[in-house]
Structure 1
Amino acid sequence: MNYFIGDLHLFNRNQTGEGVNYDGRPFATVAEMNQYILEHWNAKITNGDTVYILGDMAMRGRNEALIALVAQLKGRKILFRGNHDDLSDYRYQKLFADITDYREISESFDGQSYKLCLMHYPILMWNGQHRGSILLYAHTHNTVEETFFQKCVKGLNENKKLSVQQGKPIRAINVGCMMPYMKYEPRTLKEILSAQDARKE
């Protein structure tokens, strides 16, 4: 089974009540956040699963506690480099099955196949977007930048001159862990798309 998540920012005090709590996360301390993510991750993920981490796993890679924590996270972990990922420690690098910037994969469930483009940063043009390919990204958190980007995607869908979608909507989905449909744990594509459909109702 494949799972997706991004922007965990492990050990970042400014994602908790110990700092400015940039995302308004429901954690008083870094220790509480890290423990919550660890427990919910391992309750869901098996070592036979693959977890695509779309950047910003943590603020630094040379922290002994960070290495120990990530080593406990189950599954085959593929990290997409984010702007906050410090990969200078070889021991930290070896915790991931692969470290990359961009990847295209196929996913299927309920008799349907999906092409996915995966990267840390949101972009407005990606391979196959007019033929149903879905961009999964992180980076923008739940901010004005995220709102603006989604407004641009909506504009692409509403532009009558862009009649090449072949009846399929252009979809770009933020899988940052703080998004309300992510709830700080990896999600399958089916879970992510079901949550998107529920938001439209």
Structure 2
Amino acid sequence: MNYYISDMHFFHKNVTKEGNNFDNRPFNSLAEMHEYMKEKWNSKITNGDTVYILGDIAMRGTNEELIALVAQLKGRKILVKGNHDDVSDLRYKNLFEEICAYKEVTDHIGQEAYKLVLSHYPILMWNGQHRGTIHLYGHTHNTPEDTFFQECLRQFNLNNIQNSVKCPELARAYNVGCMMPYMNYEPRTLQEIINKQ
């Protein structure tokens, strides 16, 4: 099974009530957030699953702390690097099956195949967007920037419909930041992301 998540920001005090909590996360401390997210992850993911982490797995913390935490997360982990990801430590780098800046994959819901474009950053025009390819991204958290990006897509799709542009599919992009209500701080399958959005 494939799963997707982004922007966990482990060791970033300002995503909890210990700091300025800019994400409005429900955690009083980093320790509470780490334990909650680790428990949610490991109760769902098996070592046979693949988890695509679309950037910003961590923000701060010593290499030893970060390595110890990420090593406890089950599954084959593929990191699509974000702006806060530092993989210069070989011990940390070895925790991932692959590290890249951008990735195209195929996933399935039942018997139906879906092409996906994976990036930490939202992309306004991505490969195959008119042919049903779905874009999964992070970076914008639950902010006005994400609302603006989604509004651009809505206007883009509306324009195509009103002008009878021959696009077989509407453009679909989903923010898989862990703080999004439909993500609830755990990796999600493509079906869960589409159904909960």
Normalising by structure 1, what TM-score? 0.94
Aligned to 1:8: 8
Residue equivalent to 1:199: none
Q: Percent identity, please.
A: 63
In the alignment, the residues of structure 2 paired with residue 47 and residue 164 of structure 1 have an alpha-carbon distance, to the nearest angstrom, of 43
For structure 1, the residue ranges without an aligned partner over 5 or more in a row are 197-201
What's the CA shift for 1:162? 6.6
Residue 83 in structure 1 maps to residue 83 in structure 2: yes
- Is the 1:107–1:115 contact (alpha carbons within 8 Å) kept by the matching residues of 2? yes
Which residue in the other structure is 2:17 paired with?
Answer: 17
- Runs of 4 or more consecutive aligned structure 1 residues displaced over 6 Å after TM superposition: none
Structure 1 pair 86/60, CA: closer, same or farther in 2 (3 Å)? farther
> 1:118-165 deviations in whole A, cap 9, x for unaligned?
010001000000011000000000001001000000011000347132
Q: Is the 8 A contact 2:11 2:61 kept in 1?
A: no
Asked if 1:172 is matched to 2:173, the reply is yes
Stretches of structure 2 that go unaligned for 5 or more consecutive residues are none
1:137 aligned residue? 137
Compare 103-112 and 133-142 and name the one that shifted more: 103-112
CA contact (8 A) 2:12 2:60 kept: no
Aligned residues: 195
CA distance in structure 2 between the partners assigned to 1:187 and 1:156 by the alignment: 27
Give me the CA root mean square deviation: 1.1
Contact map agreement 1:62 1:88 (CA 8 A) in 2: no
Compute the displacement of 1:60 (Å).
4.1
Instruction: Please identify, of 102-111 and 92-101, the stretch whose mean Cα deviation from structure 2 is larger.
Output: 102-111
* AA partner of residue 163 (structure 1): V
Q: What does residue range 178-189 of structure 1 map to in structure 2 within 5 Å?
A: 178-189=179-190
